[in-house]
Amino acid sequence: MSKTLIIVESPAKAKTIARYLGDGYEVKASVGHVRDLPASTLGVDVERDFNPMYLIMPGKDKIIKELRKASEKADRVLLATDPDREGEAIAWHLAHILKLDPKSHCRIAFNEITAGAVRHAVENAHPINTDLVNAQQARRILDRLVGYELSPLLWQKIRKGLSAGRVQSVATRLIVMREREIESFIPEEYWKLQAFLKKAEKDSPFATLFHGTKKNGRVSRMTIGSKEELDTLLNNIKKNEFIVDEVKPGTRKSRPYAPFTTSTLQQNASRALGFTAKRTMNAAQRLYEGIPLGELGQISLVTYIRTDSVRVSTGAVNEARAWIETRFGTPYLPDKPPYYRNKNKSQDAHEAIRPSHLDMPPERVAFYLSGDLLKIYTLIWNRFIASQMTPAVYDKISCDILAGDYLFRARGEKMIFPGWLKLYGAQTDLEEKRDNNKKSNSSKDDDEPDIVELPELKKGDRLLCERLVPEQKFTQPPPRYTEASLIKAMEELGIGRPSTYAPTISTLFDRFYVEREERQIKPTELGKTVTEMLEEHFANIVDTDFTAEMENALDNVEDGSRNWVELLDSFYGPFHEDVIKAKETAEKVVIEDEPIDRKCPQCKEGDLVIRIGRYGKFIACNRYPECNYTEAISDPTSAHCPKCGSPVRVRKIRRGNRLYYCDKTNDENCDFTSFDLPIDGKKCETCGSYCVLRRFRGRTYEACSNKNCPTRKRSNVSKAGAKAKSSSKYKTKKASTASDVSTESELKKTSSTSKAGAESKSEQASPDQVKE
């Protein structure tokens, strides 16, 4: 019997694919890249067409030995790495190591890990795409040239341990430029004026917003810029009656959003869940590679997660339409499937991110998914299904009201058909629109009146003015970037690609070029200093247009329209000259330590200052190395240690989390630390432990500090029980390794025995397994 070896990147993906193939197949994992440029040298011969020197990566010898042994026993070897540049490059390196001909039909690729997709790929093997490989090589060598020549310069001119990169340096500059805008912003005064009107004394008033003037049918917008202008306006308005001038009824349709791309998934997870891009991608990667679903085996729940396309296959659209009609009914199914247009810069190599199996809604698989996985899967599921539903429909009414020539406006709106919002949620949509439409100038936000409940109005109605309410306001600077808005800006400017957003942002934090304040990102002094040096000596490296052009050039290599060596040659010559010039002309920058007006408690002579070390900011004596005193940066709190009564302090640790700890005033050996702030004098009524303030998604609430307390267990067991209840609707039937799980008939209702087993399993769950 012939044997086929299939090689993928990850063990999880290997396990998922194996269940769809018969006995004649063996699936193994390379566990990511197997060859790369050397870590200790440049590894690129710039004099010989940028010839790269690839070496087996450290720690990969055992894996390669196993792959070689398996390939020697196989009659056929298929490389099933991810369907993108990186995946194609891994396949190319594996072909070299296993002595496979890249031009032979040794490569397979699929956008989703389902039985049909895997079998179709196996039956349609093709040669390795050398254009994709060359695009990846060009990208890798570009990054190596920039990093290897710029980083030592930064070490020499600023301090050791710094780095620069083709994408990271531009992203840092975006954050620095925004901070400059904020610092240079001069607020301007303006006033918002509302009139609360009603038809009769017994009626409730409704809010209207001053807009400007209306003379001879012509409307002119008027801004109230000072208290003097406001007083004059109020005096004039009070002399007039309020009369309805125009009433415009109508309808409005709210259309669903397109399915997720990598960028929009990261943005929505940041906005709705507070997830970092890295956290989102970690969860999405696991959902793509496969999750163990009990007796069903390991199943991939979503399609490939690195994409900039909103395109969806016809088969997936038809499945979604059938699901919508069954679940919600015909009124929620549009006559034709909605069409979503890709952005101009989209490569459209893959489908949008969507569920792989529409017979597995979130409630069905919730029992098997951890918190992050379930949240991300629910986001993807709701977004995709909603994208194929009918628009929501609103009755709307706008009303112009005149007080003499002064125009006030009011508007009302009422949903008459929920459409896609039946699944997605009107509040979720409102928050998303509000987040997407944030503007730098708050006066713009006040141009539209609030949506209120309006009485029946007609032209000529005279209204009573209950009160005029002025509000002084000031224009606001543009907001700092959040991870969501930074990713959106990078995508719009063409900086990086879907696979690079998360690692780029992580690098900025790792290098301490930026720091987080709540959800906002601000540059550190180090980030500003590095950016200023790069702006002065390497304008192209931090220029958004230049970086976007390089990305487009890499796309041209990928589609075969540009030679990758020529691309590298056109970049490296001018860049290398700039490096040589900067080494001679750039001045050494000294980042001054920040004093904190405290004497060193150890040597009694030095002053304490704030420095940046390998793990972030810390306090140290300025007499180092004569004095080696250090302490963590922390702030006082109003709480006291529940163990010894000493004051509790708080400091930020990695990833922006807060750590509360005892300052040991009363007991130098006290070891109290907590991620939650203890509440003075409050004990748990159930177990007697001290209580804490916990935070979750911006909400603060009181809880017992004891994880084993029944008050904590009840919350966790009820959630685990809810998962078990959703799971217990079905009895899992062991799937054949050669067939896909595609119909509801494969899962029957469970017997009371299996249901009891599921509930027992959930009751034994540790409180820490489910987040509160």
Give the active site residues: 304
Dmax (CA) for the chain in angstroms is 98
Nearest to 30 by CA among 91, 108, 113, 86: 91
Is 619 in contact with 609 (CB distance < 8 Å)?
Answer: yes
Q: Is residue 658 helix, strand or coil?
A: strand
DSSP string, 370-384: -HHHHHHHHHHHHHH
Q: Would you put residue 59 in left (φ > 0), alpha (ψ -120 to 50) or beta?
A: left
- How many helices (H) and strands (E) are present in the chain, helices listed first? 22, 31
Report the distance separating Cα 166 and Cα 696, nearest Å. 36
Q: Is residue 237 helix, strand or coil?
A: helix
Report the distance separating Cα 328 and Cα 333, nearest Å. 8
Report the distance separating Cα 543 and Cα 535, nearest Å. 8
- Single-letter code of the amino acid located at 502: A
Is 249 in contact with 396 (CB distance < 8 Å)?
Answer: yes
Output b/e per residue, 464-475; b: 16+ Cβ within 10 A: ebeebebeebee
DSSP strand E in 433-579: where?
462-474, 514-517, 520-523
Q: Which residues lie closer than 8 Å to 761 by C-beta, 6 or more apart?
A: 724
Enter the tokens of residue 3. 């044997």
- 227-230, long-range: CB < 8 A, 24+ apart: 227/191, 227/472, 229/191, 230/191, 230/193, 230/470
For residue 482, what is the DSSP state?
B
- Single-letter code of the amino acid located at 602: Q
Enter the tokens of residue 703. 């809880």
Burial group, residue 657, by CB count within 10 angstroms (0-12, 13-18, 19+): exposed
Partner residues linked to 451 by β-bridges: 411
For residue 547, what is the DSSP state?
H
Cα 647 → chain centroid? 37
Q: How far is CA 607 from CA 159, 614, 627, in A?
A: 22, 21, 11
- 659-662, long-range: CB < 8 A, 24+ apart: 661/634
Report the distance separating Cα 384 and Cα 310, nearest Å. 10
Report the distance separating Cα 261 and Cα 349, nearest Å. 12
Report the distance separating Cα 323 and Cα 702, nearest Å. 41
Is 291 in contact with 336 (CB distance < 8 Å)?
Answer: no
Phi/psi of residue 156, nearest 5 degrees = -75, -40
Report the distance separating Cα 203 and Cα 712, nearest Å. 49
Q: Is residue 470 helix, strand or coil?
A: strand
Strand 55-56 and strand 35-36: pairing?
A: antiparallel
Enter the tokens of residue 426. 């009107």
Enter the tokens of residue 725. 């209840």
Cα 91 → chain centroid? 29
Is 709 in contact with 724 (CB distance < 8 Å)?
Answer: no
Q: Which residues lie closer than 8 Å to 352 by C-beta, 6 or more apart?
A: 258, 259, 260, 261, 303, 307, 309, 310, 311, 312, 340, 384
Helix/strand/coil percentages in the chain, nearest 5: 40, 25, 40
